[in-house]
Structure 1
Amino acid sequence: MEKISTTLTAGQIAIETIARLAGAKGVTRETLAKQLGITRQTVTSRFRTRSMSLDDYIDTCRALDLNPAEILDRATKLATPTLPAVIKEALQGDRPFAVF
């Protein structure tokens, strides 16, 4: 599984994923913009800032023939630290923590 910084939200990871998949499919931002009825600059801004509305996210996924729910599900798993990672971080930090 690809390592993505946990400082990103699931939504940001999902947007980054669709941007990468668009490139992998050979879909240019100009082509995607025409399909969505927006400017290339708007597509670029959404991908660069990793920010768009839920409706825009779904429309973008559909334009790329991607399943928005599957991408968001995977992004959520990548953004959610696992228990071993949380324990490891706690053990390496300076903060005391409770053991139950």
Structure 2
Amino acid sequence: MAAEPRHMRELPEARAMSLLAGTPFGRLVFCRHALPAIQIVNHIVDGDAVIIRAQLSATVLAPTGTVVTYEVNVIDPHTCLGWSVIVTGLAEWVTDVRDVVRY
């Protein structure tokens, strides 16, 4: 019996955020000293925001926000099937004490 053809498809944003919310960690891609860097970090999803807990210096995240990419994926090693969510946006420090405590 022939296997069904495999294909990639774009997920709706709500489904992508739901998948992110169901995983505990991912990879943060940013620029360090003018070179690309990747760091594995923990995250939570709060509405449409991905909150990342990481020890990043001020040289990585500017006070006005830095463009970063965040990737999370789950791939079954036996079937090679799974999903990948990639989010690109501005990273900003969480400075409100109430938000820091809540996260």
Shorter-chain TM-score bucket reads under 0.3
Larger Rg computed on CA atoms: 1
User: Could you state the TM-score of these two structures normalised by the residue count of structure 1?
Assistant: 0.24
User: Could you state the TM-score of these two structures normalised by the residue count of structure 2?
Assistant: 0.23
Compare the two structures and name the one with the higher strand fraction: 2
Compare the two structures and name the one with the higher helix fraction: 1
